[in-house]
Amino acid sequence: MRISLAMIVKNEEKVIERCLGSIKNLVDEIVIVDTGSTDGTLEILKKIEDIHVFSFGWCEDFSMARNYSIEKTTGDYVLVLDADEYLAYGKREVLENIMNKQQIGRILIESKYLKEDNILSSKSYVSRFFPRNVRYSGAIHEQLVSNLPRVKANFKLKHDGYLNADKSKRNIPLLIAEVKKKPRDAYYLFQLGKELRISERYKEAYHFLVRSYAEAEYQFSYYGELVIELIYSGKECEASEILDIIEKNDEILKNTVDYHFAKGLFFLDYCLKNPHYIEKYLGKIEASFLSCLELNNRNNIQYVQGTSSFLAAYNLGVFYEVTGNIQKAKKYYELSSKEGYNLAAKRLNLIN
């Protein structure tokens, strides 16, 4: 059985060779659809042997472009990558095993981003390997339309497209259009709320995330991320309703590290803004971040690197420093600093 790589690209001269170089030996065919590059992308592609390049007029719809690229392939299965991704690890035999079982492969994508002078990373599994007759739906954050079983593959891509690019200006209008077409679609409401939260448009984010939460079921693959986004945006909006949401999800998300981390930040902020509740919620701050560290040694779900280690330790340091326990503060700042977290090192210098 043959595997085709299908990509859509635009202005990717800085990363396209890295991407193709990492994956070319695992596939039988490479199909690239350019959606309007004005840099040197096409010139680079002309110099690479054994690839098929097509053009597609951009129409504000990722699914249409993706589906066009799939139609140009000839393999039995299609692997989809973006140009700002590259293979970290993965063998062809992993993909062949998925093909033989007629499954859809969910591939781990680790994305780097910059926060407070530290490069952090998040991870998620995305359906990227599938039979050629499967197609995408949705103008943005497109989804595969198929009832085939989906399995996590021992296959990892690294993605650094968020490091030096703000994609929210492109994404938000497309998501708003999708929500207007499907006002009760929990997935698109979640994605729009998430993009708005990243853009620090917290009240708008909270509005759409609440709507998503009302439509979502805990079995949805993105349910944990939805609740976490809701807690973060609710913190910024000083929404006391988050207390009820936390109570309802403590058991459902007990093994999700980022959930406990978000809880800790919410309780910390809530106590600072509502001093009369300090006695009631102060202990929950400590318990939330300690839960993160405890989950580091157990089976867990984690989206953002560090929430079970240096980020949780740093926030415990802040908690103990604010509450006057300087020895414990030093202990956790040291733990965080040893893992390379700059803010912890700075706090440690200040209190020593």
Q: What are phi and psi of 126, to 5 degrees?
A: -130, 140
Tokens of 271: 């106590």
CB atoms near residue 185 (< 10 Å): 17
From residue 108, alpha-carbon distances to 12, 89, 157, 325 in Å are 22, 10, 6, 40
Question: The tokens 């740093």 sit on which residue?
Answer: 314
Question: Cα angle vertex 29, ends 50, 53, to 5°?
Answer: 60
Task: Rounding to the nearest 10 degrees, give the CA dihedral for residues 190, 86, 261, 220.
Answer: 40
Q: Which helix (H) or strand (E) holds 119?
A: strand 118-131
Query: Which three-class secondary structure state does DSSP give residue 114?
Result: strand
Global pTM reads 0.91
Q: For residue 116, what pLDDT is reported?
A: 67
Tokens of 333: 């700042």
Identify which of 281, 301, 235, 294 has the alpha carbon closest to the alpha carbon of residue 262: 235
- In the DSSP assignment, the letter for residue 14 is T
Q: For residue 164, what pLDDT is reported?
A: 67
Average model confidence (pLDDT) for the chain? 95
Q: How do residues 150-168 score in pLDDT, each as one tens digit?
A: 999 999 999 998 766 777 8
Q: How do residues 164-187 score in pLDDT, each as one tens digit?
A: 677 788 899 999 999 999 999 999
Q: For residue 162, what pLDDT is reported?
A: 77
User: At residue 236, what is the residue type?
Assistant: E
Residue 59 Cα to chain centre, angstroms: 25
Residues lower than pLDDT 50 in the chain: none
Distance between CA atoms of residues 37 and 55, nearest Å:
10
Q: For residue 119, what pLDDT is reported?
A: 82
Q: DSSP readout, 280-297?
A: HHHHHHHHHHHHHHHHTT
Q: For residue 298, what pLDDT is reported?
A: 85
Q: How do residues 206-248 score in pLDDT, each as one tens digit?
A: 999 999 999 999 999 999 999 999 999 999 999 999 999 999 9
